[in-house]
Structure 1
Amino acid sequence: MKLNELRENEGATKSRKRVGRGIGSGSGKTGGRGVKGQKSRSGVAIKGYEGGQMPLYRRLPKRGFTNLFGSDYNEVSLARLQQAIDAKKLDDKATIDVDALVKAGVLRRAKDGVRVLGDGELKSKVSIEVAGASKSAVEKIEKAGGSIKLLVAPKAAE
């Protein structure tokens, strides 16, 4: 085989539509855009326009908002931690923090921090350093003989 004999597989590339190249081409003259009007020209921006009628997106009620200052935490259950410890992905002697969880494959990526939830049981005595934890998770960790350090101070109950 020579370099000049190299070809794409049959059907791998599709030739582009050459618009506006004479009426014999099938897409000449108006170039597939119909005739006249705003839509036949370039730079059209009329999505959602309903001919002067109030558009649907303005007729429907709006609800809620996006909190710009909100935190997006990764949530990890005690059962998932125990599963990783049993599989020897997490070292129960070392401190378990965000980096350790990502390295072990428990989390794909760290968001604004990790919050431990109390689902499941924890058998190992572990030292955990995370942004937050539920009350049940803290109880279960301390019951197993471990310790937990919260990096973000919990909000006072009102």
Structure 2
Amino acid sequence: MKLHDLTAVPGSTKNPKRIGRGHGSGWGKTSGKGQKGQKARAGFSQRAGFEGGQMPLQRRIPKRGFNNIFAKEIVTVNVGTLDKKFEDNAVIDAQALIKAGIIKTAADGVKVLANGNVTKKLNVSVNGYSKSAKEKIEAAGGKAEVI
């Protein structure tokens, strides 16, 4: 087999549409562009969302809310999740949570919430706790340290 013997698999390629090549082709005269007008002319292009001068949809719909660029992204974790994933006397920080697959990134901080129960002694050091989460960790004999 040589390079000049290679061909495409049958059905994998199509011939181009040869427009403007006579009435018999079905694409003669106006070449599929309809009758006269801006859209039939060469070089026609229209920006996205243009509605012929009518007020475009993106301007008719009211703006709502705002995006606070100073907002902190705090990742939350429940004490029940910590109890399931970690062993007794485990030292838990942001890196341990990422390594265990509980969170993806520590973002601007990690906060522990009180959903679930704690049965193990856990030494947790994160950026924040809810009041009841801190009480649950300490009631089980663990330490809740704010960093």
Tell me whether the two structures share a fold, i.e. TM-score over 0.5.
Answer: yes
Residues 10 and 16 (structure 1), Cα distance of their counterparts in 2 relative to 1, 3 Å cut: closer
| RMSD (CA atoms) | 3.7
Instruction: Say which SS state the counterpart of residue 15 (structure 1) adopts.
Output: coil
2:16 is aligned with 1:15: no
Kindly provide the amino acid, as one letter, of the partner of residue 126 in structure 2.
V
Question: TM-score of the superposition, structure 1-length normalised?
Answer: 0.66
Mind listing any 5+ residue stretches in structure 2 that lack a counterpart? none
Identity of aligned residues (%): 42
Distance in 1 (CA, whole Å) between partners of 2:82 and 2:14 is 53
Query: How many corresponding residue pairs?
Result: 142
Residue type of the alignment partner of 2:74: Y
| Residues 79 and 122 in structure 1, CA contact (< 8 A), matched pair in contact too | yes
Shift of 1:50: 2.0
- Residues of 2 paired with 1:7 and 1:107: CA distance? 52
1:42 deviates by 6.0
1:122 to 118, 121, 131: 118
Unmatched 5+ residue regions in structure 1?
A: 86-90, 152-158
TM-score, with normalisation over the residues of structure 2? Answer: 0.71
Mapped partners of 1:103, 1:115: distance in 2: 17
Asked if structure 2 preserves the Cα contact closer than 8 Å seen for 1:20 and 1:31, the reply is: no
Higher Cα Rg, which structure: 2
Q: 1:18 to 1:27 in 2, by over 3 A?
A: farther
For residues 77-156 of structure 1, the aligned pairs below 5 Å read 77-85=78-86, 91-151=87-147
Gap change, CA 1:96 and 1:41, over 3 Å in 2: farther
